[in-house]
């Protein structure tokens, strides 16, 4: 499984990347592999305020429907609208073109509490 060293991870298999004080969020390679072929992504609306750990998106695959949980509290400031027409990008490029949204955090404590890459690798290897 691909686990980039420049990201943080949750036990629910979301990843986050800090970019100029904002947090870009997506699902991990492990998550997309477990889901199977993604056929639909429910994106949050820009301007939505989300709580740490709250559901803010949903990914539907040929196998199941999975909730996506906010790794940080804040406001959604950008969404990857291309996923509406090409949800398979979550499978093809989960850490690149398959990102879900960008959140402007109210504070970074949620991000700082996320797993480092080595801890996430241990979680998915157990």
pLDDT tens-digit series, residues 17-26: 999 999 999 9
Tens of pLDDT along 79-105? 999 999 999 999 999 999 999 999 999
Residue 105 lies in a domain: yes
Residue 2 lies in a domain: no
Give the C-alpha separation, 92 to 101, whole Å: 17
Residue 22 lies in a domain: yes
pLDDT attached to residue 115: 94
Give the C-alpha separation, 45 to 94, whole Å: 20
DSSP per position, 72-96: S-EEEEEE-THHHH-TTHHHH-TTT
Residue 56 lies in a domain: yes
Residue 67 lies in a domain: yes
**Chain mean pLDDT for the chain:** 93
Q: How confident is the model at residue 63 (pLDDT cuts 50, 70, 90)?
A: confident
Q: How confident is the model at residue 120 (pLDDT cuts 50, 70, 90)?
A: very high
pLDDT attached to residue 80: 96
Give the C-alpha separation, 61 to 36, whole Å: 6
Task: Give percent of the chain with pLDDT exceeding 70.
Answer: 100
What is the residue range of 28's domain? 8-125
Residue 27 lies in a domain: yes
Give the C-alpha separation, 76 to 102, whole Å: 6
pLDDT attached to residue 110: 87
Q: How confident is the model at residue 114 (pLDDT cuts 50, 70, 90)?
A: very high
Residue 16's CATH number: 2.40.50.100
Domain count of the fold of the chain:
1
DSSP 107: -
Residue 12 lies in a domain: yes
Give the C-alpha separation, 94 to 97, whole Å: 7
Give the C-alpha separation, 68 to 112, whole Å: 19
Separation in Å, CA 59 to CA 6, 95, 105, 108: 24, 15, 22, 25
Residue 1 lies in a domain: no
Q: Is the pLDDT of residue 1 over 90?
A: no
């Amino acid at each position: 499984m691909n686990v980039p060293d420049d990201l943080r991870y949750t036990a629910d298999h979301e990843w986050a990347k800090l970019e100029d004080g904002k947090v870009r969020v997506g699902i991990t390679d492990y998550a997309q592999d477990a889901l199977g072929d993604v056929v639909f992504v429910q994106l949050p609306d820009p301007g939505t305020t989300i709580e740490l750990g709250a559901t803010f998106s949903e990914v539907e695959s040929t196998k199941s429907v999975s909730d996506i949980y906010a790794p940080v509290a804040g406001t959604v400031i950008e969404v990857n609208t291309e996923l509406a027409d090409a949800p398979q990008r979550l499978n093809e490029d989960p850490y690149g073109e398959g990102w879900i949204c960008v959140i402007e955090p109210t504070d970074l404590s949620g991000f700082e509490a996320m797993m480092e890459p080595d801890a996430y690798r241990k979680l998915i290897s157990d």
